[in-house]
Amino acid sequence: MSTGPVPRVFAQPAPHRVSRNFLGPDLIARLLAHVEAKRDAFTPTQISSGKIDPDIRVSWLLRDLGGLRDALAARFLAIMDPMIADLRLSPFDLGRLEMEIVAHGDGAFYRRHIDTQTGAADRATDRALTSVLYFHAEPQNYSGGELRLHSILPLEEGGCFLDIMPEQDMLLLFPSWAPHEVRPISCPSGAFMDQRFAINCWYRSQRTP
- Residue 4, pLDDT above cutoff 60: no
> Percent of the chain at pLDDT above 90?
87
Kindly list the distances between the CA atom of residue 22 and the CA atoms of 35, 71, 85, 92, in Å, as whole numbers in the listed order: 19, 12, 19, 23
Query: Tell me: the pLDDT tens digits for 121-136?
Result: 788 999 999 999 999 9
- Residue 209, pLDDT above cutoff 90: no
- The pLDDT, as a whole number, for residue 153 is 93
The string of DSSP letters for 158-206 reads T--EEEE---TTEEEEEETTS-EEEPPEE-TT--GGGSEEEEEEEEEEE
Question: Once rounded to an integer, what is the mean pLDDT over residues 96-117?
Answer: 96
pTM of the predicted model as reported, rounded to 2 decimal places: 0.94
- The pLDDT, as a whole number, for residue 5 is 56
Indicate the domain borders of the chain: 12-206
- The pLDDT, as a whole number, for residue 3 is 54
Query: Tell me: the pLDDT tens digits for 135-184?
Result: 999 999 999 999 999 999 999 988 999 999 999 999 999 999 999 999 99
Give Cβ neighbours of residue 4 (< 8 Å, ≥ 6 apart). none
- The pLDDT, as a whole number, for residue 1 is 41
Query: Tell me: the pLDDT tens digits for 18-48?
Result: 999 999 999 999 999 999 999 999 999 999 8
Return the closest-CA partner of residue 143 out of 173, 105, 112, 111: 105
- The pLDDT, as a whole number, for residue 208 is 84
Fold of the domain built from segment(s) 12-206: Jelly Rolls (2.60.120)
- The pLDDT, as a whole number, for residue 79 is 98
Q: Which runs of E-coded beta strand occur in 57-195? A: 57-58, 60-62, 94-104, 109-113, 125-135, 143-144, 147-150, 161-164, 170-175, 180-182, 185-186
